[in-house]
């Protein structure tokens, strides 16, 4: 699953070579930044899209979950695509397609078309991080790999800062569609840079790829996502569709397991799971993915619908996550001197603290409270990622890094899409339950309601007042639903801690 990347052509002098390397690093940085921007720009405009396309909260979350799922599915085949068609050709094709599909997202007139284009956007964007990184590493000497990798990685951190700010501003001034429209010209500029700077592919050596196992796994993951996204609406096992998807998903999973055990070159060699650190790392990185994007999907609807925040302010508050991530990566470099379990534990404890803060939010939550939680969650991204990745692959042979890292990143993205669906389901289900419960207190026999009625002048015998009461109860029930989702987030942060301490540390820390 590793890509064959050609080295840049030799220049007449060392200065030219050095200048081309740094220019190539710059365009790779821009590529990763652009891709990272699209991940968060949509979260800010979800409430506006929901109203424009007449979608329900669970339906509008599909624009995030299926985009992430498409990225998760296509990421493992990025290396094969590069070795089959050449990394330059793949990156140019994906960037051109990425820009066109982003434009089509802005022109979408229905939820179905928007979800379809978002799936294509995630699939085309998946190779735009691993392949530029591989190109940068092949262009720089090994002595400069740490510096080049750090600069390239900053693009993944910078995107989440810029995306929500500009996307939220454009959505507020113009329309949510402009948050997508702004991506297209930027993709065009990056495409020109890639076309001018990427070295020609001199080596095209197709590698074997377990397509049958890959298709079986993709089918199983798609069925799982459909079950989670549509189960609440279709009443779970009472629905023929959900039952069918469960059967197909289990059959596909069984085929995937059997295929991996029988073929010589499986998608995932199960012998890697005998590596204790790698197996634990897969579990922990799945939880890492679960906690990564969920707040960015849950907070904007809450702030917009219940708090009345404009999109530009929501974008600024969400962008605090990117600022925190920059600080978190610097802190991770210092923590790297200690047992990696300490860094991972610290990160999850901070994440649990941020979840606890969100658990105490009200509809009139202050902006600084949201900003604090966003920054803390960003810090956790950096603190956890570095020691987790190091400990996971510490006992993996270098020849198996391509295969094992593909599964590692697949589970990270899969965790995000699954937990977003679970959180949205939690909000909707508990909102319905709490609405029924709170409505029982709206009665003339309730002393608390009589005091409220005397203070506000709201009476049960006036239709207008009943509508106002219904809106108030609905908002409060929805707020309780969000709080339950934040509580689930906090519990998951703490539940993973015992598994973290099962990791076998390097010998110097044992």
Query: pLDDT-derived band of residue 226, with 50, 70 and 90 as boundaries?
Result: very high
DSSP one-letter string for 363-414: TT--HHHHHHHHHHHHHHHHHHHHHHHHHHTTTS-GGGHHHHHHHHHHHHHH
- On the 0-12 / 13-18 / 19+ scale of CB atoms within 10 A, 367 is middle
Reply yes or no on whether the pLDDT at 382 is more than 60: yes
Grade residue 7 by pLDDT with cuts at 50, 70 and 90: very low
Q: What percent of the chain has pLDDT over 90?
A: 42
CA angle 399, 400, 402 (to 5 degrees): 100
Confidence of residue 509 (pLDDT cuts 50, 70, 90): low
Model confidence at 280: pLDDT above 90: yes
**If you average pLDDT over residues 339-349, what whole number do you get?**
92
pLDDT grade, residue 9 (50/70/90)?
very low
* pLDDT higher than 80, residue 374: yes
Low-confidence winner among 56-65, 208-217, 461-470 (lowest mean pLDDT):
461-470
User: Which residue did the predictor score with more confidence, 136 or 353?
Assistant: 353
CA angle 318, 323, 327 (to 5 degrees): 140
Structure tokens at 148: 């080049």
Question: Positive or negative, the Cα torsion across 64, 68, 73, 75?
Answer: positive
The more confident residue out of 158 and 418 is 418
pLDDT surpasses 60 at 1: no
The per-residue pLDDT for 423 is 93
Q: What is the DSSP letter of 7?
A: P
E-assigned strand segments in 240-357: none
Reported as a single tens digit per residue, the pLDDT across 290-322 is: 998 889 889 999 999 899 999 889 989 988 888
How high does pLDDT run on average in the chain? Answer: 86
Predicted confidence band at 204 (pLDDT cuts at 50, 70, 90)?
low
pLDDT at 4 over 60: no
Q: How confident is the model at residue 342 (pLDDT cuts 50, 70, 90)?
A: very high
pTM exceeding the 0.95 threshold for the entire prediction: no
Q: Residues 6 or more apart from 86 whose CB is under 8 A from it?
A: 4, 201, 204
pLDDT score, position 17: 55
Q: What is the pLDDT of residues 166-188, one digit of tens each?
A: 888 888 888 899 999 989 999 99
pLDDT at 5 over 60: no
Confidence band (pLDDT; 50, 70, 90) for 457?
confident
pLDDT at 438 over 90: no
Between 242 and 442, where is the model more confident?
A: 242
């Amino acid at each position: 699953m590793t890509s064959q990347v050609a080295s840049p052509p030799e220049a007449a002098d060392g200065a030219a070579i050095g200048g081309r390397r740094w220019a190539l690093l710059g365009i790779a940085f821009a590529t990763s930044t652009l891709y990272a921007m699209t991940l968060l720009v949509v979260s800010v405009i979800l409430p506006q899209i929901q109203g424009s396309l007449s979608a329900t909260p669970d339906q509008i979350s599909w624009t995030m979950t299926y985009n992430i799922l498409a990225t998760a599915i296509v990421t493992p085949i990025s290396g094969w695509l590069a070795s089959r068609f050449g990394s330059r050709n793949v990156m140019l094709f994906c960037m051109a397609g990425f820009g066109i599909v982003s434009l089509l997202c802005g022109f979408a007139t229905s939820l179905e078309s928007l979800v379809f284009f978002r799936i294509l956007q995630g699939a085309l964007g998946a190779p735009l991080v691993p392949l530029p990184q591989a190109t940068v590493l092949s262009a720089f000497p090994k002595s400069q790999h740490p510096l080049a990798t750090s600069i390239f990685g900053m693009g993944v951190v910078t995107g989440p800062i810029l995306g929500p700010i500009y996307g939220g501003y454009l959505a507020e001034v113009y329309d949510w569609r402009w948050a997508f429209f702004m991506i297209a010209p930027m993709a065009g500029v990056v495409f020109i840079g890639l076309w001018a700077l990427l070295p020609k592919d001199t080596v095209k050596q197709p590698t074997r790829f377990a397509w049958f196992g890959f298709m079986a796994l993709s089918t199983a993951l798609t069925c799982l996502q459909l079950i989670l996204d549509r189960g609440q609406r279709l009443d779970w096992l009472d629905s023929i569709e959900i039952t069918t998807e469960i059967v197909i998903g289990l059959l596909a999973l069984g085929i995937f397991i059997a295929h991996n055990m029988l073929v010589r070159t499986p998608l995932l060699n199960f012998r890697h799971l005998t590596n204790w650190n790698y197996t634990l790392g897969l579990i922990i990185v799945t939880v890492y993915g679960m906690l990564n994007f969920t707040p960015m999907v849950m907070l904007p609807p809450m702030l917009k619908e219940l708090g009345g925040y404009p999109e530009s302010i929501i974008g600024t508050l969400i962008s605090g996550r990117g600022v925190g991530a920059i600080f978190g990566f610097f802190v991770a470099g210092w923590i790297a001197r200690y047992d990696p379990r300490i860094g991972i534990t610290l990160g999850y404890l901070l994440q649990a603290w941020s979840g606890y803060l969100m658990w105490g939010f009200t509809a009139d939550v202050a902006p600084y409270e949201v900003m604090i939680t966003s920054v803390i969650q960003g810090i956790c991204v950096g603190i956890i990622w570095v020691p987790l990745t190091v400990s996971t692959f510490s006992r993996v042979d270098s020849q198996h890094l391509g295969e094992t890292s593909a599964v590692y990143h697949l589970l990270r993205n899969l965790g995000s899409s699954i937990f977003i669906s679970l959180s949205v389901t939690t909000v909707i289900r508990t909102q319905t339950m709490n609405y029924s419960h709170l409505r029982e207190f709206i009665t003339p026999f309730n002393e608390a309601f009589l005091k409220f009625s005397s203070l506000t002048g709201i009476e049960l015998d006036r239709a207008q007042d009943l509508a106002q009461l219904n809106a108030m109860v609905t908002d409060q029930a929805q707020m309780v639903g969000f709080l339950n989702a934040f509580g689930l987030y906090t519990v998951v942060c703490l539940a993973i801690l015992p598994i973290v301490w099962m990791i076998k540390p390097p010998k110097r820390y044992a």
